[in-house]
């Protein structure tokens, strides 16, 4: 007698919205690899009690696969890359692989760590411009340090697009909106290595498709 397939209790679903930069990371990897999930906005919004029923911290992105929910954008990106079979985004050689992961983690700890006070202010609905300006200036300093980890080619690590580029891109897009908004010099234009990286990433068609959705999402949010 043939064994039955394990019963799927959920459709594979990516919980994401157009303004979520962490969610955009997963959309980017899907765009480049051709992998696709059904997408849903978190019920009641990210952080809601309903979303916490699906994913304990209530954050997006979250990915419901079979009978479990996967969390954390980095884990989701790696899951999509490995499941799609297109492993070009996560290089095999351990030295390059560790370089890619190291850049993502350093970006999240230091660049995002520096800018976090601005995000907290934005959540209040009445952001203090001085706090936002200081956070953006601090992030610019961290960006300059981060790019010292980049290689010589235009992308962050090596001559081809990797997970590191896709993880940083959604935040670069947001910062491109917020630096001018708060009147702080934009490191994505002012720092040559960072500007070269951002220009290379924006040449990738799949990146620009996802970025266009994010830009439209932010335009709608700003219009409110």
Ligand X SMILES: N[C@@H](CCC(=O)N[C@@H](CS)C(=O)NCC(=O)O)C(=O)O
Q: How far is the CB of 96 from ligand X (least distance, A)?
A: 22
d(CA 96, CA 114): 26
Q: Smaller CB distance to ligand X: residue 47 or 183? A: 47
Q: How far is the CB of 133 from ligand X (least distance, A)?
A: 22
Q: How far is the CB of 22 from ligand X (least distance, A)?
A: 4
Which residues in 67-126 contact ligand X (CB under 6 A)? 72-73
Which residues in 8-67 contact ligand X (CB under 6 A)? 20-23, 46-47, 58-61
Q: Which residues contact 95 (CB under 8 A, 6 or more apart)?
A: none
Q: Smaller CB distance to ligand X: residue 70 or 137? A: 70
Q: Smaller CB distance to ligand X: residue 54 or 194? A: 54
Question: Interior CA angle at 79 toward 25 and 120, to 5°?
Answer: 35
Q: How far is the CB of 145 from ligand X (least distance, A)?
A: 21
Q: How far is the CB of 74 from ligand X (least distance, A)?
A: 6
CA nearest to 74, candidates 119, 25, 34, 110: 25
CA atoms within 13 Å, Cβ hemisphere of 30: 18
d(CA 34, CA 115): 32
Closest residue to bound ligand X by CB: 47
d(CA 119, CA 135): 9
User: Rule CB under 6 A: is residue 150 a binding residue for ligand X?
Assistant: no
CA nearest to 110, candidates 148, 71, 64: 148
Give me the residues that bind ligand X (CB under 6 A), please. 20-23, 46-47, 58-61, 72-73
């Amino acid at each position: 007698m043939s064994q039955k397939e394990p019963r799927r209790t959920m459709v594979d679903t990516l919980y994401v919205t157009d303004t979520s930069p962490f969610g955009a990371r997963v959309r980017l990897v899907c765009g480049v690899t051709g992998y696709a999930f059904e997408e849903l906005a978190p019920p009641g919004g990210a952080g809601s009690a309903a979303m916490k029923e699906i994913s304990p911290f209530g954050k997006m992105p979250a990915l419901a696969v079979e009978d479990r929910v996967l969390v954390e954008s980095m884990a989701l990106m790696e899951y999509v890359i490995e499941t799609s079979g297109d492993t070009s985004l996560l290089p095999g050689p351990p030295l390059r692989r560790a370089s890619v992961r190291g850049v993502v983690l350093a970006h999240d700890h230091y660049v995002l760590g520096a800018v976090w006070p601005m995000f907290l202010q934005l959540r209040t609905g009445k952001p203090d411009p001085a706090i936002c300006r200081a956070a953006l200036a601090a992030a610019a300093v961290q960006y300059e340090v981060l790019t010292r980890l980049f290689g010589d080619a235009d992308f962050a690590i090596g001559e081809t697009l990797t997970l590191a580029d896709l993880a940083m891109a959604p935040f670069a897009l947001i910062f491109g909106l917020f630096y001018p908004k708060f009147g702080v010099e934009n490191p994505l234009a002012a720092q040559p290595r960072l500007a070269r990286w951002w220009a290379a990433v924006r040449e990738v068609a799949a990146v620009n498709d996802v970025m266009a959705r994010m830009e439209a999402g932010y335009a709608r949010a700003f219009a409110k």
